[in-house]
Structure 1
Amino acid sequence: MPIAYNGSVALHYEVRGEGETLLLSSGLGGSCDYWAPQINDLSKKFRVVTYDHAGCGKSARAVGPRSVTDFALDMKAVLMAAGASQAHIMGHAVGGMMGLQLALMEPDLVQSLVIANGWGAPDPHIKRCFSVRSNLLRDSGATAYVEAQPLFLYPAPWISKRDAQLRQNARHAPEHMPVEADLLDRIEVFQNYEPSDMALRTLSVPVLCLATADDMLVPWTASKALADRLGNGHFVLFPDGGHASSQTDPTTFDAAVARFHDAYAKELSL
């Protein structure tokens, strides 16, 4: 099992395909399995690297308080262990912010960045949702937290059609998620993430911000605001799909990502 190290923190990662490296980073759940709907197609064009976030899945558990910079350095450690000197990055929500922080720290390492359903400043609605989730975790435990998670991730009709599958997934999720203290710390750190306007404006790395109009957790306006602050930002709004549109409508999601990567490749060839 391939392992990268950021200091003493062990990070499980996997590599598939050939070509330019594309690192995928999931959201708060932290599992590399989040990207299952994308792996087969992406690995036909890219050398795809996935990894479990620190504290999650097969990576080191109970890692303690960490900063956004720490999570960005996890990405760098995984890329170095995988033998990549540069990479495209795609991250969902907090995974996208990890990629953004890495691009701000080391722009020569990041060739392009896709941020799905992310934000670049504290938002009252996001804080309200995270407060509900944090209180649920503290007061009712991991099982209740996981059971409520689909309400924030998926559109209601999508949940209705897959109720049995979601309940089965929920039974196994607590054993792979971060311990309570680490998860609460992650929620606090990322909901308050706010890079400076100057840092974002001077970033030349091409960044695609994807959002969905019916996202229950992250208002699409937060993603749009981030794109507008970026020096090389691009924005695409899907009419529906919820917070996890890469899973609920992978065809539409994947097509938007492919158009961005194709445009980026064409720009380089000029």
Structure 2
Amino acid sequence: MRYDITGKPGAEAVVLSAGLGGAAAFWKPQMAALQEHFRVVAFDQRGTGRNAEPLPDGYSIAQMADDVVTVLDDAGIGRAHFVGHALGGLVGLELARRHPARLGRFVPVNAWAKVERHSERCFDIRIGILKSQGPAAYVAAQPLFLHTAPYMAEHSDKLDEEIAHGTAHFQGEENLLRRIGALRAFDARADLAAITAPTLVVATKDDLLVPWTASQKLAEGLPNARLWVSETGGHASTVEQPEPFNRAVLEFLLGA
């Protein structure tokens, strides 16, 4: 697993785990704020980007969590905070279930304990686009599920660049379907009460892909969690509204 460690030498570590796209670059709006206080561990998830390779049948969130442990072991980091977006939040939950001693503070963003039927409907639509029209159409449709309409209207050129990059570096249909299968199979509801890591559950009310109430349920099930909800920002609120998100996460990770 290729990874990068940047930020403040000798400080506590924070692992950043992206969503379905898997790219470490997703966290660019957070890097400067986190690097000022922490060692930041970022990596493209297995099957994507710098860690591209064919994924096996039955690929699971548990295997993704094991990849995090592999990275931490290689970096000589015993314990780290963890910030995960959507699927990345599930990886954090699995890390908490399987390796609780490795997890410090935990921030799942627009995540869930068990995928909602609404989200599955969205994935069905996206898979339909992929299978009927191909990767270019899938990537072109992706901003509709990630962003709010005002953001897309104001950042049309930026989105065009991202779509071109995403098409050129597409992770592959089989890998994508296996990663979607992994998040659909994941269910941590029965184990939430045993996850005691201090947790800030982050949600956005106008998220089209993941109902904010899924995060509300997650926070209610975790014994040491609190919920932080923003009114707007869509599924990619870390991109659309980075300043309030960064402030809230830094205050939490620093123990405020």
Does the residue aligned with 1:23 lie in a helix, a strand or coil? strand
Aligned-residue offset at 1:169? 1.6
| Equivalence for 1:260 | 252
Aligned-residue offset at 1:70? 0.3
Which residue of 167, 185, 200 maps to 1:174? Answer: 167
8 Å CA contact 1:121, 1:195 repeated in 2: yes
Does the residue aligned with 1:132 lie in a helix, a strand or coil? helix
1:121 aligns with 2:128: no
Aligned-residue offset at 1:185? 1.5
Q: Give runs of aligned pairs for residues 70-109 of structure 1, distance below 5 A.
A: 70-109=63-102
Query: Quick one: distance in 2 between partners of 1:207 and 1:140?
Result: 40
Query: Quick one: distance in 1 between partners of 2:121 and 2:71?
Result: 33
8 Å CA contact 1:25, 1:90 repeated in 2: yes
| Equivalence for 2:147 | 154
Number of residue pairs the alignment of both structures matches: 253
| Equivalence for 2:234 | 242
Query: Quick one: distance in 2 between partners of 1:114 and 1:211?
Result: 10
Aligned-residue offset at 1:37? 0.7
Query: Quick one: distance in 2 between partners of 1:174 and 1:25?
Result: 21
Q: Which runs of 5+ in 1 are unaligned?
A: 1-10
- Alpha-carbon deviations, 1:161-192, whole Å to 9, x = none? 11111112211213333210110111122023
Task: Tell me the amino acid that sits aligned with residue 14 of structure 1.
Answer: D
TM-score norm. by structure 2 comes to 0.96
Query: Quick one: distance in 1 between partners of 2:6 and 2:254?
Result: 20
Aligned-residue offset at 1:75? 0.8
Does the residue aligned with 1:58 lie in a helix, a strand or coil? helix
8 Å CA contact 1:212, 1:245 repeated in 2: yes
Mean alpha-carbon deviation: is it higher for 165-174 or for 155-164? 165-174
- Aligned-pair identity (%): 38
Which residue of 31, 56, 68 maps to 2:61? Answer: 68
CA-based RMSD: 1.1
8 Å CA contact 2:106, 2:197 repeated in 1: yes
Task: Tell me the amino acid that sits aligned with residue 29 of structure 1.
Answer: G
TM-score norm. by structure 1 comes to 0.91
Q: Which runs of 5+ in 2 are unaligned?
A: none
Aligned-residue offset at 1:147? 0.4
